Chain A
Amino acid sequence: QSVLTQPPSVSGAPGQRVTISCTGSSSNIGARNDVHWYQQLTGTAPKLLIYGNSNRPSGVPDRFSGSKSGTSASLAISGLQAEDEADYYCQSYDRSLSAWVFGGGTKLTVL
């Protein structure tokens, strides 16, 4: 049971827009701790996708965007492409646990 809750899977057709939610609590996301997102292609290491809730590292397409409100955060992917098929993880800091915590991951399938 992860501290941050993500849907196990989402899917969409090429060109569509999908969102992945990350739900936390008052001790992590709700405590004004930043949320970061990572993309993990099959068999590879995670890669930083979004940091500080909504910032994209250099090289990440602007089809990827992040937002945060209250105790939740979201990752949106527009103009879905086959290469976006991957697992996506959110990450934040939990004050009660004094630990960095991850969501359980969401598998994105491009139909």
Chain B
Amino acid sequence: QVQLQESGPGLVKPSETLSLTCTVSGDSISNYYWSWIRQPPGKGLEWIGYIYYSGSTNYNPSLRSRVTISVDTSKNQFSLNLNSVTAADTAVYYCARIKRGSGSYILEYWGPGTLVTVSS
């Protein structure tokens, strides 16, 4: 059974860059799509973007100017960088593995999430 685990700083200062890593175990990162999703405290889910193991990406247009997702197949990890953060970026950040359906992308397995707070 595949398992995902987010890691990174729990506190980031305004205007700085939020950096998180998702480590995948129990299966190879190859041949799959991988995604980041976030959830502000007490609010709903927001899709951030996804990456294919080959490196191709797709981002939420609302975040595209500030987001970079990358993959390291040698470490079975993929990462999220979100720059110029503000308090509005405070959220629990989840990584997930995508299952390709017939023309759709399904968030099949999720990590437990990590809370990132943006504050000085």
Q: Are A91 and B61 closer than 8 Å at their CB atoms?
A: no
Minimum CB–CB distance from B107 to chain A (whole Å) comes to 6
Q: Are A45 and B62 closer than 8 Å at their CB atoms?
A: no
Q: Which residue of A is nearest B45, CB measured?
A: A102
Known A97-B61, A99-B62, A103-B44: A46·B107 in contact at CB below 8 Å: yes
Q: Which residue of B is nearest A44, CB measured?
A: B112
Complex-state Cα separation, A48 to B105, whole angstroms? 12
Asked if B14 CB lies within 8 Å of chain A CBs, one says no
Complex-state Cα separation, A105 to B112, whole angstroms? 19
Main secondary structure of the interface of B (DSSP, over half): loop
**Partner-binding segment picked from B22-30, B66-74, B82-90, B96-104:** B96-104
Contact of A91 among B102, B107, B109, B111 (CB under 8 A): B107
Q: How large is the interface on B (under 10, 10 to 19, 20 to 34, 35 or more residues)?
A: 20 to 34
For the complex, count residues of A whose C-beta is within 8 A of B.
25
Residues of B bordering A, CB below 8 Å: 44-47, 60-62, 94, 99, 101-113
Q: Which 10 A/B pairs are nearest by Cβ-Cβ distance?
A: A34-B104, A100-B47, A45-B110, A102-B45, A51-B106, A105-B44, A104-B44, A99-B60, A52-B101, A45-B113
Q: Can you give 11 A-B contacts (C-beta < 8 A)?
A: A33-B104, A36-B107, A45-B112, A51-B99, A51-B106, A93-B104, A97-B61, A99-B47, A99-B60, A102-B46, A102-B47
